[in-house]
Structure 1
Amino acid sequence: MPEPAGADPGAPVPAPPRPGPVALVVVLVSALVAAAARLPATGTALRPDESGYTLVARAWSPTAESPFGRYWVDRPPTLVLAFRLADLVPGGHGIRWFGVVAALLAVLVAGLVGREVLARVRPDATPGRASMVVALTALTAAAFVATPQIDLQLTKGELLALPVLLASVWLVLRAVRTGSVPAALVAGVLAGLAPGLKQSLVGAAVFGLALLLLERLGGRLDTRGLVRLGGAFVAGGATPVVGTLVWALVAGVRLGALWESVVGIRGQAVGVIAGGPLGNVLRRAAELALATVTTGLALVLLALLVHVVRQGRRSSPLARAALVMAVVDGLALLLGGFFRLPYLFAMVPSAVLTVALLLAAAPAGGRVGRLVPPGLVAVVVASAAFSGVGWVRDLGRFERPPVAVMAGRAIGAVSQPGDSLTAVLGNADLQYSSGLPSPYEYLWSLPSRVRDPDLIELAGVLRGPDAPTWVVTVYDIRAVQGARAADDLDAALAGRYVDVGPVCGGRHLWRRADRPRPDPVRDCAGLRRGFGQP
C-alpha cells in the first residue's frame, strides 16, 4: 500500500482504535489453545536434542577450549542457559513447560504486531477493522504454533525464539510509528537475542534494518530519525553479542573456541551432511516442503510476494521489509541442510506479518480483495484443526516412550554408582534416560562426525582410564565413518569389552569386561512390559 497522503517525515502516526472486547477474547483464547496444545508434551520423554542440551546444561563448566566443558555442542551459550534454567523446574520436563509459555506469548505478541501493522498501513481504520486485524493475526499465529504438522512436542531454540522474534518486530514497528528510541533499542536487543537461541534466526534483525532503511528511502523517516532509531536498534542488537563475549572472557573461554562452537563448525557440518546418505536428506526436505504447503505457510508467503509485485513501486516499506525477512529466513532454512520440521517456526513471524498486512490493506469495497486475507486465515486455521483431530486420535502413540528411552532406562536399572555410558555417534535421549554420564564429549552424531571423523578420540577414551562401563552403537560405523574408524573402534572394543548383544531399536551393547553387571532387558517387548506399555 502506498504512503498515506501528506505524511511528514518523522511525524508520529497516531495509534489505531483499540480492538473491541470480542477481539481481545479471541486473542486470549487463541493463546490459551496454542499453549494447551503443547501441554501433553509436558508428560512425554524428551527428544534427543532436548536430552542432549539438558545434559550439556547440567555439566556446564567452561574451559579454555570448550564453552561448555564436559560436552561439546555447536550451539550458543544462550540456548544452553535456557536449558539450564528449565532444568530447575521440578519433574524433568521444564523445557517443555518453557515451550508452553513460548507458545502462549507468541500468540499474544502476534496480536500486538497486528495492531501496529494496522497503525502503519491504515491509521484511520475503524474499530471494526482494528478488531478484525488483531483477532485474525493472533488466530493465525496460534494455528501455526499449535499445528501438529510442525511439532507439538519438541522444544528448542526455534520455538523459544518465536515470541522474541515477534516482540522485536512489534517494537521496531512501534519505534517507527512513535519515534521511540527505547522501543528501537529493546527491539534490537530482542533481535540480537534470537540468534543466541538458534544461530540462523536473524529474521528480526533483517526486518528491523530493512524497515528503517526503506522508511528513510520512502520519506517516512528523515535522516535524523534514521540515525536515532537505527543507531538504537544496532546498539541493542550488539548487546547480546557483546554480553556473550564478555562472559567468555570472564569464564576463561578462548574466543576462538567460542567461535568454533557457534559459527565455525557450520560450514564443515554442511559438507558432512552433503557427503552423507542423500536419501535421508531428500526425505527430510520432502517432509519439510509438504508441511510448508499443507500448513498454509507457503500460501501465505506467496500472497505476500504477489502483493509486493502487484503494488510495485507503490508497495509499502513494511511489505517489502516483510518480504526481505521471509527470503532471508527461507534461505537460512535451506542452507542449514538438515530440514527439520521445527525449522518452520522461523518462517512464522513473516507469515504473521503478511496476514496482518493483507488484512489491514484490504480494500473496503470489492468482494475478492476483501475476502482473500480472511480466506488465507481460514485455510491456515482449518489445516491446523484438521491435523489436530488426527493428532488427538493418535495421542496414546505419542505418549509411549521411544525405544531409545526405554533402552537407556533398562541400562540404567542394572548399573551401579560410578558407571558411565557412551553412545557411539550419539544417542542423547538414550544417554539422558540412562542417568549415566559419558566420558566422550560428543552427544550428537554431527559434531562427532565433523570433529572426530576417524573416531580417534573415541578409541582413546575406550582404551583410557575413564573408559565407559557401557558402549552402545546405533549406526553402521563402517557405512557412516568408513573402514578406518570402524576397524579402530572394533579393536578398542575387542580388547576391553564383552559383547552383550543387540538391544531394542537396532542398537548393540557392550560392557567393560572388568565391570560385571546383570544384562539389561534387551528386547522391545520386554522393555514395554517393564515400563507398563502395551
Structure 2
Amino acid sequence: MAASRNRRHLVPLPVHLAGVLAAMVVIRLLYLGEAAGSDEAGFLLVGAGWHHGDSLYGAYWVDRPPLLIWIMQLAGSVSSLRLWGLGASVLMVLGVGRAAYVASGDRAARWATSAAALFSAAHWFGVPRTNGEMLAGAFVAWGLAFTVQALLRPGRLSWAWGAGAGVLAGCALLVKQTVADGLVFALVMAIAVGWKPRHRPIAVRVLAAGVAGTLLTVGLGVAAAATRGTSPADLFDALVTFRADAGEVIRTSASDATTDRLVVLLATWVAGGLAFVAVAAIWHALRRREPVLLATATTIGFVSAAAMLGGSYWAHYLLQLVPASALAVGLVAERMAPRLRFALVGVVLVATTSNVFWSFVAPPEHGEQARVVGRWLKASAVPGDTVVVAYGQPNVVAQAGMDSPYPYLWSLPVRTLDPDLSVMSSVLDGDTRPTWVVDWSGLDSWAIDPAALRPVLERRYRQVSDVCGRKIWLERTRPRSLATPGACP
C-alpha cells in the first residue's frame, strides 16, 4: 500500500519529462557563446566545401561518414549547429525514457530521463560543443527503444520495430563509424531473448529485419554520397584504412599531452558518474540475466572499449556512453540499496552541479586563442584571401571567414597522409597558394619533419605578426594593412 501511495504522489511522467528537459535546455543555451571547437569549425568547413574540389568531400578530407557532413552543411553556422545538437540531446532523452518505460515501467523512465538530462548538461563531457557522438545519440537512443519494443512486446509489427531500429543504427553509423551501439544492443538482446526456444522465432525475425534496415540505410547513404563525388572506395579508405594507419601514428607519436588526456578522461568518467553506472549495470546484469540489462551492460562495455582503443582520449568521447548509461540507471536504480543509491546520486549531483557552476565562474579557454587569431586574420584580410594553418586548428580558418586550399584541416590527417608535408609544400608553392599561413605550434611539432616545407615558406612568405604566440606569415606579393591584435587569453 505504501508503494502505491508513493506512486500516486509522483508528478505525472510528462510533467517530469518537461521539467528535466527544461533544466537541460536552459543550461545548454547558456553555453551557446563559447568559442567554436576544432571539430565544430572543421566539420562546418567540410560541409560548406562539399560542392567543389576533388578531395573526399569536395574541398576537404575528413575521416567521417557522409550523414555527418550533410548535417553540417544544413546547419551552416556554429550557433545553428549547437541548436541542432541541443535538439539531438532532447530526442536522446526522450528515446532513453521510452526504452526504460517499455522495459521496466514508469519509475525506470523517470530515473533514465533524469540521468540522460543530467549527463547532457555536464560541461566536462564536452556538451557545449556539438560533435558526432551527440548527434548520433538521438539515433542510438530511439534505436534502443525500438529494439526493446520489438523484443519485449512482440506482436505482428515486431519486424517493423526491428527494421526501424536497424535504420536508426545505420543512421548512427553514417554520423560516426564507431557508433555501433544500436547494433551491439540489438544483437545481445536478441540472443538473450532467443535463448529460450519459444522466443527464438521472434528474436530471429527482429534481428533479420534490423540487419536489413541497417544495410539498406548504409547502402543508401553511401550511394547518395557517390552522387556528389564521394566514392565508396574513398569512403572505405577514410573510415577504415585511415583509422588503422592513424592508430599507429598516434601510438608512435604519443606525447605527455596524450597521457594527460587519458588521466582527464578517466577522472571525468569516475567523477561524472559513468563509472558507477557501468559497475552497477554489469553487476546487476550478471546477477539477474535479464535480456535488456545484459544488452545495456554489454553496450556500455563496448563503447568504453572503443573510447579507450581510439588512443586520443578526448573527453567528449564519453558522450557516446550517455544513452546506454542512462538506460542502465533506469533499470537498476530501484534495485539498489536505498542508502547506496542516495549516496551515489548525491555524489553525482554535487559533482555535476559544481562542474556546471565552475564552467561559468571560470570559463575554459579552449578555443579562445583560435578565436583571437582568426579575428585578427579577418580584420587584416581582403575578400578572396585564403589561409593554411600548420597544423590543424580549423577553428582559426572558420573564424577568419576564409577557405583553405589545403585539404587536411586536422593534425592527424596531416601526420598520417602527408607526413613529409609534400602536399602542403606543393600547395604553398602553387598557383592557388594561400594568402596567409599560420604556424600554430611550431613547424616541427608532432615529430613532423618540415624539411620540405620550410624553404617554400621562406621563399614565398614573410612573417608579419605574432598573435597569441602564433606566427603569422603573409604571401610576399600581397601587401595587407595589419590589424591590431586583440587581447589573448
Q: 2:118 aligns with which of 143, 147, 150?
A: 143
Query: Compared with structure 1, are the counterparts of its residues 375 and 356 closer, same or farther at alpha carbon in structure 2 (3 Å cutoff)?
Result: farther
Query: Compared with structure 1, are the counterparts of its residues 422 and 70 closer, same or farther at alpha carbon in structure 2 (3 Å cutoff)?
Result: same
CA contact (8 A) 2:151 2:203 kept: no
CA contact (8 A) 2:465 2:473 kept: yes
Please state whether the residue corresponding to 1:269 is helix, strand or coil: helix
Number of positions where the alignment pairs a residue of Structure 1 with one of Structure 2: 480
Query: Compared with structure 1, are the counterparts of its residues 220 and 409 closer, same or farther at alpha carbon in structure 2 (3 Å cutoff)?
Result: farther
Question: Does 2:407 correspond to 1:434?
Answer: no
User: Which residue identity is paired with 1:96?
Assistant: R
Give the stretch that moved more between structures: 110-119 or 290-299. Answer: 110-119
Q: Which residue in the other structure is 1:10 paired with?
A: none
Q: 1:292 aligns with which of 269, 294, 312?
A: 269
Q: CA deviation at 1:240?
A: 2.2
Query: Compared with structure 1, are the counterparts of its residues 254 and 178 closer, same or farther at alpha carbon in structure 2 (3 Å cutoff)?
Result: same
Question: Does 2:237 correspond to 1:260?
Answer: yes
Question: Does 2:73 correspond to 1:84?
Answer: yes
Distance in 2, matches of 1:249 and 1:59, equals 16
Q: Which residue in the other structure is 1:497 paired with?
A: 461
Q: Which residue in the other structure is 2:29 paired with?
A: 39
Distance in 2, matches of 1:171 and 1:20, equals 27
Question: Does 2:470 correspond to 1:507?
Answer: yes
User: Which residue identity is paired with 1:37?
Assistant: I
Q: Which residue in the other structure is 2:285 paired with?
A: 308
Distance in 1, matches of 2:349 and 2:483, equals 47
Give the stretch that moved more between structures: 148-157 or 293-302. Answer: 148-157
Q: Which residue in the other structure is 2:360 paired with?
A: 392
Q: Which residue in the other structure is 1:214 paired with?
A: 192
Q: Which residue in the other structure is 2:135 paired with?
A: 160
Q: Which residue in the other structure is 2:413 paired with?
A: 447
Distance in 1, matches of 2:9 and 2:317, equals 32
Question: Does 2:326 correspond to 1:352?
Answer: yes
User: Which residue identity is paired with 2:394?
Assistant: A
Q: Which residue in the other structure is 1:111 paired with?
A: 97
Distance in 2, matches of 1:23 and 1:377, equals 20
Distance in 2, matches of 1:352 and 1:18, equals 24
Q: Which residue in the other structure is 1:279 paired with?
A: 256
Distance in 2, matches of 1:268 and 1:19, equals 57
CA contact (8 A) 2:465 2:471 kept: yes
Please state whether the residue corresponding to 1:511 is helix, strand or coil: strand
Query: Compared with structure 1, are the counterparts of its residues 105 and 374 closer, same or farther at alpha carbon in structure 2 (3 Å cutoff)?
Result: farther
CA contact (8 A) 2:147 2:186 kept: yes
Identity of aligned residues (%): 30
Distance in 2, matches of 1:207 and 1:146, equals 25
Query: Compared with structure 1, are the counterparts of its residues 400 and 370 closer, same or farther at alpha carbon in structure 2 (3 Å cutoff)?
Result: closer
Distance in 2, matches of 1:249 and 1:77, equals 10
Deviations 1:479-520 (A, max 9, x none): 4244xx32221100121111214221x211111110011223
Distance in 1, matches of 2:9 and 2:111, equals 12
Consecutive unaligned residues of structure 1, counting only runs of 5 or more, are 1-16, 120-129, 363-367
Consecutive unaligned residues of structure 2, counting only runs of 5 or more, are 1-6
Q: Which residue in the other structure is 2:350 paired with?
A: 382
Q: Which residue in the other structure is 1:178 paired with?
A: 153
Please state whether the residue corresponding to 1:44 is helix, strand or coil: coil
Q: CA deviation at 1:319?
A: 2.0
Please state whether the residue corresponding to 2:51 is helix, strand or coil: coil
Give the stretch that moved more between structures: 17-26 or 204-213. Answer: 17-26
Please state whether the residue corresponding to 1:153 is helix, strand or coil: coil
Q: 2:56 aligns with which of 63, 67, 70?
A: 67
Q: CA deviation at 1:166?
A: 1.0
Query: Compared with structure 1, are the counterparts of its residues 152 and 255 closer, same or farther at alpha carbon in structure 2 (3 Å cutoff)?
Result: closer
User: Which residue identity is paired with 1:73?
Assistant: V
User: Which residue identity is paired with 1:192?
Assistant: G
Distance in 2, matches of 1:253 and 1:57, equals 13
Q: CA deviation at 1:372?
A: 4.1
Question: Does 2:98 correspond to 1:98?
Answer: no
User: Which residue identity is paired with 2:163?
Assistant: L
Query: Compared with structure 1, are the counterparts of its residues 336 and 305 closer, same or farther at alpha carbon in structure 2 (3 Å cutoff)?
Result: same
User: Which residue identity is paired with 2:472?
Assistant: L
Q: TM-score, normalised by structure 2?
A: 0.92
Q: CA deviation at 1:417?
A: 1.9
CA contact (8 A) 1:56 1:71 kept: yes
Give the stretch that moved more between structures: 457-466 or 381-390. Answer: 381-390
Q: CA deviation at 1:30?
A: 0.6
Q: CA deviation at 1:116?
A: 1.4
Question: What is the correspondence of 1:191-270 to structure 2 with a 5 Å cutoff?
Answer: 191-219=169-197, 221-222=199-200, 224-270=201-247
Distance in 2, matches of 1:466 and 1:165, equals 43
Q: Which residue in the other structure is 1:486 paired with?
A: 450
Distance in 2, matches of 1:157 and 1:479, equals 27
Deviations 1:127-149 (A, max 9, x none): xxx3x322222111111111122
CA contact (8 A) 2:57 2:229 kept: no
User: Which residue identity is paired with 1:207?
Assistant: F
Question: What is the correspondence of 1:8-23 to structure 2 with a 5 Å cutoff?
Answer: 21-23=11-13
Please state whether the residue corresponding to 1:472 is helix, strand or coil: strand
Query: Compared with structure 1, are the counterparts of its residues 214 and 19 closer, same or farther at alpha carbon in structure 2 (3 Å cutoff)?
Result: farther
CA contact (8 A) 1:422 1:438 kept: yes
Query: Compared with structure 1, are the counterparts of its residues 110 and 481 closer, same or farther at alpha carbon in structure 2 (3 Å cutoff)?
Result: same
CA contact (8 A) 2:50 2:59 kept: yes
Deviations 1:364-413 (A, max 9, x none): xxxx635544654444333222322222333xx35997121111111111
User: Which residue identity is paired with 1:425?
Assistant: Y
Q: CA deviation at 1:111?
A: 1.8
Query: Compared with structure 1, are the counterparts of its residues 331 and 80 closer, same or farther at alpha carbon in structure 2 (3 Å cutoff)?
Result: same
Q: TM-score, normalised by structure 1?
A: 0.85
Q: CA deviation at 1:66?
A: 3.3
Q: CA deviation at 1:62?
A: 6.6
Distance in 2, matches of 1:220 and 1:103, equals 38
Q: Which residue in the other structure is 2:168 paired with?
A: 190
Give the stretch that moved more between structures: 76-85 or 53-62. Answer: 53-62
Distance in 2, matches of 1:103 and 1:182, equals 25
Distance in 2, matches of 1:100 and 1:19, equals 31
User: Which residue identity is paired with 2:301?
Assistant: V
User: Which residue identity is paired with 1:163?
Assistant: A
CA contact (8 A) 1:471 1:511 kept: yes
Distance in 2, matches of 1:163 and 1:271, equals 32
Q: Which residue in the other structure is 1:27 paired with?
A: 17
Q: CA deviation at 1:71?
A: 0.8
CA contact (8 A) 1:38 1:100 kept: yes
User: Which residue identity is paired with 1:216?
Assistant: G
CA contact (8 A) 1:31 1:103 kept: no
Give the stretch that moved more between structures: 246-255 or 440-449. Answer: 246-255
Give the stretch that moved more between structures: 31-40 or 444-453. Answer: 31-40
CA contact (8 A) 2:194 2:204 kept: no
